[in-house]
Amino acid sequence: MAGSTYGTIFKITTWGESHGKGIGVVIDGCPAGLPLCEEDIQTFLDRRKPGQSKFTTPRKEDDKAVILSGVFEGKTTGTPISIVVFNENQRSGDYGEIASCYRPGHADYTFDQKYGFRDYRGGGRSSGRETIGRTAAGAVAVKILNRLGILFTTYTRAIGPVSIDDKCFDAAQILKNPLYMPDAAAAKKAEAYLETCIQDQNSSGGVVECMISGMPAGIGDPVFEKLSANLAKAVMSIGAVKGFEIGDGCSVSKATGRENNDAFRLADDGSVEKATNHSGGILGGISDGSDIVLRASFKPTPSIASLQHTVNRSGEEVDIRIKGRHDPIIVPRAVVVVEAMAAITIVDSLFANMSAQMEAVKKFYET
Amino acid sequence: MAGSTYGTIFKITTWGESHGKGIGVVIDGCPAGLPLCEEDIQTFLDRRKPGQSKFTTPRKEDDKAVILSGVFEGKTTGTPISIVVFNENQRSGDYGEIASCYRPGHADYTFDQKYGFRDYRGGGRSSGRETIGRTAAGAVAVKILNRLGILFTTYTRAIGPVSIDDKCFDAAQILKNPLYMPDAAAAKKAEAYLETCIQDQNSSGGVVECMISGMPAGIGDPVFEKLSANLAKAVMSIGAVKGFEIGDGCSVSKATGRENNDAFRLADDGSVEKATNHSGGILGGISDGSDIVLRASFKPTPSIASLQHTVNRSGEEVDIRIKGRHDPIIVPRAVVVVEAMAAITIVDSLFANMSAQMEAVKKFYET
Amino acid sequence: MAGSTYGTIFKITTWGESHGKGIGVVIDGCPAGLPLCEEDIQTFLDRRKPGQSKFTTPRKEDDKAVILSGVFEGKTTGTPISIVVFNENQRSGDYGEIASCYRPGHADYTFDQKYGFRDYRGGGRSSGRETIGRTAAGAVAVKILNRLGILFTTYTRAIGPVSIDDKCFDAAQILKNPLYMPDAAAAKKAEAYLETCIQDQNSSGGVVECMISGMPAGIGDPVFEKLSANLAKAVMSIGAVKGFEIGDGCSVSKATGRENNDAFRLADDGSVEKATNHSGGILGGISDGSDIVLRASFKPTPSIASLQHTVNRSGEEVDIRIKGRHDPIIVPRAVVVVEAMAAITIVDSLFANMSAQMEAVKKFYET
Amino acid sequence: MAGSTYGTIFKITTWGESHGKGIGVVIDGCPAGLPLCEEDIQTFLDRRKPGQSKFTTPRKEDDKAVILSGVFEGKTTGTPISIVVFNENQRSGDYGEIASCYRPGHADYTFDQKYGFRDYRGGGRSSGRETIGRTAAGAVAVKILNRLGILFTTYTRAIGPVSIDDKCFDAAQILKNPLYMPDAAAAKKAEAYLETCIQDQNSSGGVVECMISGMPAGIGDPVFEKLSANLAKAVMSIGAVKGFEIGDGCSVSKATGRENNDAFRLADDGSVEKATNHSGGILGGISDGSDIVLRASFKPTPSIASLQHTVNRSGEEVDIRIKGRHDPIIVPRAVVVVEAMAAITIVDSLFANMSAQMEAVKKFYET
Tell me: the pLDDT tens digits for B134-171?
A: 999 999 999 999 999 999 999 999 999 999 999 999 99
Tens digits of residue pLDDT in C173-198: 999 999 999 999 999 999 999 999 99
In D, minimum Cα distance to C264 occurs at D310
Per-residue pLDDT at B62: 81
B32: confidence class by pLDDT, cuts 50, 70, 90: very high
Rounded to whole angstroms, the Cα distance separating A100 from A116 reads 13
Q: Which of A354, A359, A363, A366 to mutate to test the interface with C (most CBs of C within 10 A)?
A: A354
Contacts of B299 in chain A (CB under 8 A): 248, 252-253, 255, 260, 278
Task: Find, among C126, A158, A90, C203, the residue nearest to D257 by Cα.
Answer: C203
Contact C124 B10 (CB under 8 A): no
Question: Please, which contacts does C39-45 make with residues 24 or more away whose CB atoms are closer than 8 Å?
Answer: C40/C139, C40/C140, C40/C143, C41/C65, C41/C67, C41/C83, C41/C136, C41/C139, C41/C140, C43/C139, C44/C135, C44/C136, C44/C138, C44/C139, C44/C142, C44/C336, C44/C340, C45/C85, C45/C132, C45/C135, C45/C136, C45/C139
What b/e sequence results for A105-142 when a residue is b if at least 16 CB atoms lie within 10 Å of its CB, and e otherwise? bbbbbbbbbbbbbbbbbbbbbbbbbbbbbbbbbbbbbb
Per-residue pLDDT at B94: 62
pLDDT greater than 60 at residue B58: no
Per-residue pLDDT at A89: 64
Per-residue pLDDT at A52: 65
| Cα separation values, B25 from A342, B204, C15, C21, C135, Å | 30, 30, 10, 15, 20
Q: To the nearest whole angstrom, how far is the Cα of C353 from the nearest Cα of chain D?
A: 6
Contacts of A8 in chain C (CB under 8 A): 8-9
In A, minimum Cα distance to B271 occurs at A315
DSSP string spanning D286-333? Answer: EE-SSPEEEEEEEPPPS--SS-EEEEBTTS-EEEE---S---SBSHHH
In B, minimum Cα distance to A105 occurs at B261
Question: CA-based Rg of chain C, rounded to a whole angstrom?
Answer: 22
A93: confidence class by pLDDT, cuts 50, 70, 90: low
- More confidently predicted of B291 and C321: B291
Per-residue pLDDT at D196: 96
Contacts of B206 in chain A (CB under 8 A): 253
A127: confidence class by pLDDT, cuts 50, 70, 90: very high
The kind and range of the H/E element at C241 are strand C241-246
Average pLDDT over residues C251-274: 97
Which residue among D106, D287, D315 places its CB closest to the CB of C283? D106
Residue-averaged pLDDT of chain C: 94
Whether A69 contacts chain C with CB within 8 A: no
Per-residue pLDDT at B151: 98
Rounded to whole angstroms, the Cα distance separating C297 from B245 reads 54
3-state secondary structure of D133: helix
Rounded to whole angstroms, the Cα distance separating C65 from C37 reads 10
- More confidently predicted of A225 and D63: A225
Contacts of C33 in chain B (CB under 8 A): 115-117
Question: Please, which contacts does D41-44 make with residues 24 or more away whose CB atoms are closer than 8 Å?
Answer: D41/D65, D41/D67, D41/D83, D41/D136, D41/D139, D41/D140, D43/D139, D44/D135, D44/D136, D44/D138, D44/D139, D44/D142, D44/D336, D44/D340
Would you tell me which residues 211-250 of chain A have a C-beta closer than 8 angstroms to some C-beta of chain C?
216, 222-223
Per-residue pLDDT at D181: 98
pLDDT greater than 60 at residue A169: yes
Q: Which of A10, A15, A129 to mutate to test the interface with D (most CBs of D within 10 A)?
A: A15
B98: confidence class by pLDDT, cuts 50, 70, 90: confident
The residues with which A266 forms a beta bridge, in sequence order, are A272
Task: Find, among C346, C361, C356, the residue nearest to C146 by Cα.
Answer: C346
The amino acid at residue A257 is: G
Whether B332 contacts chain C with CB within 8 A: no
Cβ-count burial of A94 within 10 angstroms (0-12 exposed, 13-18 middle, 19+ buried)? exposed
Whether B72 contacts chain C with CB within 8 A: yes
Whether C78 contacts chain A with CB within 8 A: yes
Rounded to whole angstroms, the Cα distance separating C115 from C136 reads 28
Average pLDDT over residues D195-201: 95
Q: Specify whether the CB–CB gap between B106 and B304 falls below 8 A.
A: no
pLDDT greater than 70 at residue A50: no
What b/e sequence results for D103-140 when a residue is b if at least 16 CB atoms lie within 10 Å of its CB, and e otherwise? bbbbbbbbbbbbbbbbbbbbbbbbbbbbbbbbbbbbbb
Per-residue pLDDT at B340: 98
Per-residue pLDDT at D94: 62
The residues with which C212 forms a beta bridge, in sequence order, are C152, C292
Q: Is the dihedral of CA C113, C114, C116, C119 positive or negative?
A: negative
Rounded to whole angstroms, the Cα distance separating A53 from D118 reads 44
Whether C33 contacts chain B with CB within 8 A: yes
The amino acid at residue D44 is: F
Contacts of C4 in chain D (CB under 8 A): 221, 223-224
Per-residue pLDDT at A78: 98
B97: confidence class by pLDDT, cuts 50, 70, 90: confident
Average pLDDT over residues D148-156: 98
Which residue among B222, B260, B310 places its CB closest to the CB of A125? B222
Contact D242 C257 (CB under 8 A): no
Q: Give, as one character, the DSSP assignment of residue B65.
A: -
Contact A147 C31 (CB under 8 A): no
In chain B the first and final C-alpha atoms are separated, in Å, by 42
C327: confidence class by pLDDT, cuts 50, 70, 90: confident
pLDDT greater than 90 at residue C312: yes
Contact C79 B28 (CB under 8 A): no
Q: Give, as one character, the DSSP assignment of residue B285.
A: T
ipTM for the predicted complex comes to 0.97
Listed range (B68-77, D87-96, D183-192) with the worst mean pLDDT: D87-96
Average pLDDT over residues B342-367: 96
pLDDT greater than 90 at residue C44: yes
Per-residue pLDDT at D123: 87
| Strand positions, DSSP E, chain A | 5-6, 11-16, 22-28, 66-67, 71-72, 75-76, 81-86, 151-159, 162-163, 206-213, 241-246, 264-266, 272-274, 282-283, 286-287, 292-298, 308-311, 317-320
The amino acid at residue C80 is: P
Tens digits of residue pLDDT in B174-232: 999 999 999 999 999 999 999 999 999 999 999 999 999 999 999 999 999 999 999 99
Average pLDDT over residues A252-263: 98
Cβ-count burial of C347 within 10 angstroms (0-12 exposed, 13-18 middle, 19+ buried)? buried
Rounded to whole angstroms, the Cα distance separating B351 from A80 reads 30
pTM greater than the 0.90 cutoff: yes
Q: To the nearest whole angstrom, how far is the Cα of D155 from the nearest Cα of chain A?
A: 31
| Dihedral (Cα; D353, D356, D359, D362), 10-degree rounding | 60
Rounded to whole angstroms, the Cα distance separating A225 from A223 reads 6
The residues with which D309 forms a beta bridge, in sequence order, are D319
A123: confidence class by pLDDT, cuts 50, 70, 90: confident
Whether D74 contacts chain B with CB within 8 A: no
Rounded to whole angstroms, the Cα distance separating D357 from D131 reads 36
The residues with which B27 forms a beta bridge, in sequence order, are B12, B81
3-state secondary structure of B103: coil
Q: Specify whether the CB–CB gap between C282 and D290 falls below 8 A.
A: no
Rounded to whole angstroms, the Cα distance separating D119 from D142 reads 32
Backbone angles phi, psi at D226, to 5 degrees: -55, 140
Per-residue pLDDT at A2: 85
High-pLDDT (> 70) share of chain A, %? 94
Contact B218 A110 (CB under 8 A): yes
Per-residue pLDDT at D11: 98
Domains of chain D, earliest start first: 5-365 (3.60.150.10)
Rounded to whole angstroms, the Cα distance separating B308 from A265 reads 11
pLDDT greater than 90 at residue A26: yes
Whether C264 contacts chain D with CB within 8 A: yes
Listed range (A45-54, A351-360, C76-85) with the worst mean pLDDT: A45-54
The amino acid at residue A260 is: N
Contact B1 A221 (CB under 8 A): yes
Per-residue pLDDT at A326: 79
Tens digits of residue pLDDT in B225-255: 999 999 999 999 999 999 999 999 999 999 9
Listed range (C76-90, D217-231, D328-342) with the worst mean pLDDT: C76-90
| Cα separation values, D366 from B216, B290, D363, Å | 10, 17, 5
Average pLDDT over residues C213-219: 98
Backbone angles phi, psi at C106, to 5 degrees: -105, 175
pLDDT greater than 70 at residue A355: yes
Rounded to whole angstroms, the Cα distance separating B185 from B164 reads 8
Rounded to whole angstroms, the Cα distance separating B101 from D161 reads 71
Per-residue pLDDT at C12: 98
The residues with which B292 forms a beta bridge, in sequence order, are B212
Contacts of A124 in chain D (CB under 8 A): 72, 77, 79
pLDDT greater than 90 at residue D91: no
Per-residue pLDDT at A94: 62
In C, minimum Cα distance to D351 occurs at C1
| Cα separation values, A128 from A18, A330, A334, C216, C236, Å | 8, 9, 9, 45, 44
Per-residue pLDDT at C52: 66
| Dihedral (Cα; A50, A52, A55, A60), 10-degree rounding | 40
Residue-averaged pLDDT of chain D: 94
Rounded to whole angstroms, the Cα distance separating D267 from A159 reads 71
A56: confidence class by pLDDT, cuts 50, 70, 90: low
